[in-house]
Chain A
Amino acid sequence: MASFLATYDFLLVSMVLAAVLALTLYLPLMAGQLSVASPGFYALGGYIAAIMSTRIFPPGPGLYPVSLVLLEMAVAAVVSGVLGLAVGVPALRLRGIFLALATIAFVQILGVVALNLDVTGGAIGIFGIPQPFSSAIQYMWLAVPLLLVSMLFVARLERTRTGRALVALREDELAAASMGINPTYHKVLAFTTSAVLAGAVGAVSAHFINTWNSRQGTFDTSVNLMAFVLVGGSRTFVGPVVGGLVLTALPEALRGIAGVDVLPAWLAAFLRDGRLIIFGILIAIGTVFFPHGLITPGLLRRLGRRGARPG
């Protein structure tokens, strides 16, 4: 167990953080809005943490205090939320693919701004971000509670007045509006909540990765997050979480399978090097045969019933 944790420490923490990020894409999607803006807020949160910990707080001896990381997370969440509100109000007038495009543009703009500012370290970025823990696996102390709290939040949300309003908008915006649900308000609310969460994840990630630059939270991250949600499932919060965990682990798992001796050399090479192709094929298969993802509310109901039966 200890050696497993030591070997896969970085991967395990990455999986958990990916699961939280997948939830940031799921939140606007609950209201039927395909926004890929959250990598932008993730990048912003990371820069906030990186700048606060390297320039504002004086370096001390020993480990960086976890309380300051929590403070950075809070600041990142608030700033991302404010920016989310400012971007969300005009952006969420757009529908469907136009919203997706606008949010892609938003992510690109943030990237270009980060690349050209002095405070963000330009192309080099910010490195030597202080470590609150002595080993990577201890980041679980931040990542796991963050995931659990976000999951609990979204799970509860799905059973509240606000959550029902979001889902109603996803199902039929016109009918929802005719039932008294303010579409813009609820879309912006979902978008802003997503921004808050993404900012907090970014703050943790900056410490975890130790260096932060404009290659963090780019369009590539947007595509990954979409894959997490599309393959995992877009109709229940369990889907994105499972998608984030599994698809982040998948490349490593494929590398492991490729190491088995009995495989022909070409297959081993494909599994090792062709993982982006495999990823793409999975996304294509997933969207064609499981349009709502692998984990659907119906599947969860069936599992629940089976679990409830004695024996």
Chain B
Amino acid sequence: MSAAPLAAADLLVVDGVTCRFGGVTAVNEVSFAVARGELFGLIGPNGAGKTTLFNLITGLTAPSGGHLRYRGEDITGLPPHRVAERGIARTFQNVRLFGELSALDNVMIARHVRTRSGLVSGVLGLGAARREEHETRERAAALLALVGLADRPEERARNLAYGDQRRLEIARALALEPELLLLDEPAAGMNAGEKRALSDLIRSVRARLSLTVLLIEHYVPLVMHLCDRIAVLNFGQLIALGPPAEVQKHPAVVEAYLGDST
């Protein structure tokens, strides 16, 4: 694919990004652009390179080639905390909460880049630091309420049910006040009712917080209902990109999912 067109509305531009692990090319010259406010789905069979792409965007893995631009700024190769500072938050495919800590602490931690208190002012509990601490707690509690965990702020993250852990991860990501939210299989391990509630949640926070969402999901109905556009990866390559209805009928997609029909 050629370089992605750079429109003013594009929040994230993935431009010819490649990632090789030894002899394996996990992501191969992938290019696409996510528009501001869009709910963008990323699907593909297992091992297609979806999570690797998330890791590339969030700086956990350095790309072997290509560029990543966020708000027009080159973020290629930035360390994860610098990417997060710029307003990109994520959840993880295999939930990575701070297990020994309370649900509330998990969310409070992610207020880090939106708060300023240093070691000394924090420990001394000076006026500004005290106010900030109070505000952090309030905001974290509000986010717990948003994802339906208001009644269990002190529960240790590892003791929560799997679906609750996934929702807590979303609350933690939102605490960063991101403009771009990356959700890596948020519905995994949820039952049908929880999945419906989750897609309502995603839709509502996106509207309320004017988020742009990049979503990896295996559960096809959720993606089809939720997403404005979908990109399909297979063996590290982008094989289709477009609105759900179009992508669903795309011959390459059908082949990737169902095998060669001829």
Contacts and interface: CB of A to CB of B under 8 A. Distances in A.
Given A172-B98, A175-B92, A162 B117 contact: yes
Contacts of A172: 96-99
B167 to A, nearest CB: 16
A30 B190 CA distance: 34
Interface in A190-234: 193
Interface residues of A, number: 27
Interface stretch (B6-14, B67-75, B77-85, B254-262): B77-85
A177 B59 CA distance: 9
A176 interface: yes
B125 interface: yes
B100 A235 contact: yes
B176 A163 contact: no
B112 interface: yes
Interface string B233-248: 0000000000000000
B98 A171 contact: yes
Contacts of A235: 100
B192 interface: no
Nearest to A172: B96
Interface residues of B, number: 39
B201 to A, nearest CB: 20
Most buried by B among A175, A176, A177, A178: A178
B122 A178 contact: no
Interface stretch (B33-41, B102-110, B203-211, B223-231): B102-110
Contacts of B51: none
B119 interface: yes
Interface string A45-64: 00000000000000000000
Interface stretch (B20-28, B128-136, B143-151, B213-221): B128-136
A181 B109 contact: yes
A168 interface: yes
Contacts of A157: 119, 122-123
A177 B79 contact: yes
A162 B119 contact: yes
A161 to B, nearest CB: 5
Nearest to A292: B100
Nearest to A183: B81
Contact of A164 (B105, B118, B123): B105
B46 interface: no
B96 A180 contact: no
A178 B176 CA distance: 10
B252 interface: no
Contact of A171 (B80, B99, B125): B99
B176 A175 contact: no
Nearest to A164: B109
Contacts of B117: 160-162
A178 B60 contact: yes
A167 interface: yes
B50 interface: no
A175 B119 contact: no
B99 A179 contact: no
Contacts of A182: 79, 81
Contacts of B166: none
Contacts of A160: 117, 119, 122-123, 129, 133
Contacts of B115: 161
8 smallest beta-carbon distances between A and B, as pairs: A160-B122, A180-B113, A180-B84, A171-B98, A177-B80, A175-B96, A179-B110, A156-B123
26 contacts: A156-B123, A156-B124, A157-B119, A162-B118, A162-B122, A164-B108, A164-B112, A165-B109, A167-B98, A167-B109, A168-B98, A168-B112, A171-B100, A171-B101, A175-B92, A176-B109, A177-B60, A177-B79, A178-B58, A179-B84, A179-B113, A180-B81, A180-B110, A180-B113, A182-B81, A189-B119
